[in-house]
Structure 1
Amino acid sequence: MAELQPDGTAGEQKYAAIAAAAAETLVGLDFDGTLSPIVEDPASARIHPDAAEVLIALASRVKALAIVTGRPAGQVVELGGLDAIADALGELGKELYVFGQYGNERWSGADRVVVGPPPPEGLAAFEAALPAVLSAHGAQDAYIEEKGLAVGVHTRRFPDPDGLAARLLPPLTELAGEHGLVIEPGKQVIEVRAPGMHKGHAISTLVEEVSPGAILFGGDDLGDVEAFEAVRAWGKATGSPTVLVYSHAGPDRGPLAGLADVEVAGPDGVLELLRELTDEARQG
C-alpha cells in the first residue's frame, strides 16, 4: 500500500475505516498534481490516462465523487474529459461534482453548466499593472494564466523557477493588496484572486449537499490546506472516518506533509490508492 504519514499505524487504521464505510464516503480530489501530472505549460495538462477507468469504478462503491481545483471549472471539465466520466457516473445513478477556482465556480454532471460570480473588482487593474512589476524583477517572460476570476503567474519555464517565485511573491502580494485581492502561492505559480473563498468552503458545501458518513480528500499543494483542515474538523466534530491523502512528487517536503494521513507518489500513487479502495470496498 502507499506510504503512511505521519504515523503508519494511525494512517492504516484511518484508511481501513474509510474502506469499511465506502458506501457512505465522499471522495474529493484536487486536479493538478493529484489527478493530472504537473507540466510546464498549464494549458497542456491532461488527466492521467487511467483516471477515467479508476474514477468510474470507484464511483460505483462510494457515495459521491468531487473534483475541487484552483482551475476554472469549465477548463478542468475539458482537460479531464469529465463530460464522459459524468455520463458513466450517471448510468450508475451517481453524480460528479466539480468545484473550480477554489470553490468560486461549480459544475455538475446533472446540469453541465458552470455557475460562478463575475470577476472580482480590481482584477482588471491588477492585470494592467502586472507586466511592469514582472519586468522590474526580470520575469517579463513569465507565463500568465488568465482564469476569468483569477490570474496565475507561472515561473516553471525559468532556470530557477522556485527562486524566481520567491522573489516575485512580495511585490505581487503588495500589488494584489492595492487592488483588494489576495495571493495563493503554489508550486512555481503565484495566483491572484478575490479574498474569502477557498477549498474548505467547497468541502463544507459538499457536506451539506451530500451528507456523507466519511470523507477522503487528496491534494498536493498549499491550495489544498484549507480543504484538509475542513475535512479534519468535520471528522472531529462528527466522529466520522476521514483520510487525507498527500500526492507528493519530488524531493521537497511540501506544505501537506504534516497534515496528511497517507502519502502517495503523485497521480500514479493516487490512482493506485483509489484502486485499492475500490477493491476493498467490493470485497467488503
Structure 2
Amino acid sequence: MHYILSKTSRRVLEHFARTRVLLGFDFDGTLAPLTVDPNAVRLRRRTRRLFGLVAERYPCAVISGRARSDVLARLGGIPVRAVVGNHGLEPNRNTSRLWRVVRPWIPVLHDRLDGLRGVVIEDKGLSVAVHYRSASQKRRTRNAVVAAAAALGTRVRIVPGRLAVDLVPDVASHKGIALRRLRARVADTALYVGDDASDEDVFTLNEPGRLLSVRVGRRRDSAASYFLRGQSEVDDLLEELVRLRSRPRRLSA
C-alpha cells in the first residue's frame, strides 16, 4: 500500500482527476468519524464544506451499509450523483421481497442477544446491524453475535465490520458491484475510499488504471492500493481533489 498524499501518489491522483472519474465514498469511518452511538455519526463542518465542493466538480457516490434514507438525511443536500444503501441493496426493485426476508430475523436476534451488555441491534429495513462497540468483552460478544446470525438460516450473509456485524439477505450484490454499475453509467474510471471490511468488496476488484482504491487506515491484509493514515486525513484528500479541479465542471452522464 502507498500513502495517497505522498508527492508521488499525488501524481496518480492528478492523472485520475483528468479522466471521467467517479468518486465513491463509504460514510461511517470515512466521510464521518465513528462514534460509540451509531446515531450520533455526523459530518464535520469542514468535511461537509469540502465534500460539497468536490461534488460540484466530480460525479460522487456514497456507498454505505446504512439505509439509503439515513445517508441522504446525514448528507443534508450535498449534490452527490448517487447514494447506495445497505451494502449495495438500495435502490432495488425487489425491496418488498428483501424486506420480508429480513423481518423474521429481528425477534430471533433480540431473543438471543438482548441479555448481552453493550449490544445494540439496528434495524435498517433491508438489513440488520448488530453493534458491540460498548461491550466490555468484545471477542466473546462478537462470537455470540455470529452464533445468533447462524441461527437465522441460510438466506443471511454476514458482513463483518468495525465492532459491528451487518446481516444482509444472501443476494448477489455488494459495494463492489454497486460501484461498477455506477461507473458504467457516468464515468470511465473510479476512485473509492473506505475503511471497513465491507469496502474490501471494492478493493478486491483489482482493476489497474480504472480503479484507484484508498483505505482509511493502513492494513497489510487489505487489497486497497493506497491508504490514508486516519479518518481526519479524508479532509486533506478532499482538499486535494478540489485543487485538482479548481473550476467546477459538468461531466456528461
What is the TM-score with the length of structure 1 in the denominator?
Answer: 0.76
Instruction: Give percent identity, aligned residues only.
Output: 25
Residues 200 and 226 in structure 1, CA contact (< 8 A), matched pair in contact too = yes
1:271 aligned residue (218, 231, 235): 235
Paired residue for 1:280? 244
List per-residue Cα deviations over 1:173-197 (Å, max 9, x = no partner).
4123x15211111001011110122
SS in structure 2 at match of 1:46: coil
Equivalent position SS for 1:279: helix
1:247 and 2:247 are equivalent in the alignment: no
Pairs within 5 Å for 1:66-85: 66-81=61-76, 83=77, 85=78
Q: 1:29 maps to which residue?
A: 25
Moved more, 191-200 or 47-56: 47-56
| 1:262 counterpart = 2:237 | no
Task: Assess if the C-alpha contact under 8 Å between 1:71 and 1:147 holds in 2.
Answer: yes
Unaligned runs of 5+ in 2: 248-253
Q: Is the 8 A contact 1:217 1:245 kept in 2?
A: yes
SS in 2 for 1:50: helix
Q: How many angstroms does 1:254 deviate by?
A: 4.5
Distance (whole Å) between structure 2 residues aligned to residue 129 and residue 42 of structure 1:
22
1:156 equivalenced with 2:151 (yes/no): no
**Unmatched segments (≥5 aa) in structure 1:** 87-94, 107-113
- Compute the RMSD of aligned alpha carbons: 2.7
Q: Deviations over 1:5-31 (max 9, x none)?
A: 59x78745532421333xx11100000
Equivalent residue of 1:191, what SS?
A: strand
Structure 2 contact 128–166 (Cα < 8 Å) conserved: yes
User: 1:132 Cα deviation (Å)?
Assistant: 3.0
User: Per the alignment, do residues 5 and 169 of structure 1 end up closer, same or farther by CA in structure 2, a change over 3 Å counting?
Assistant: farther
Residues 54 and 271 of structure 1 are in contact (CA less than 8 Å); yes or no, is this contact kept in structure 2? yes
Equivalents in 2 of 1:58, 1:156: separation in Å? 32
2:110 to 108, 112, 131: 131
Distance 1:272 1:141, change over 3 A: closer
3-state DSSP of counterpart to 2:95 = coil
How far the C-alpha of 1:169 sits from its partner, in A, is 4.7
Alignment partners' CA distance in 2, 1:150 and 1:78: 18
TM-score, length basis structure 2: 0.84
Q: Which has the higher helix share?
A: 1
Residues 232-262 of structure 1: CA deviation (Å, up to 9, x unaligned): 33xx4xxx443211112xxxx647x532232
* Candidates 28, 32, 38, aligned match of 1:42: 38
Classify the secondary structure of the residue corresponding to 1:159: coil
Distance 1:116 1:43, change over 3 A: farther
> For this pair of structures, how many residues does the alignment match?
244
- Match for residue 167 of structure 1 among 143, 153, 157: 143
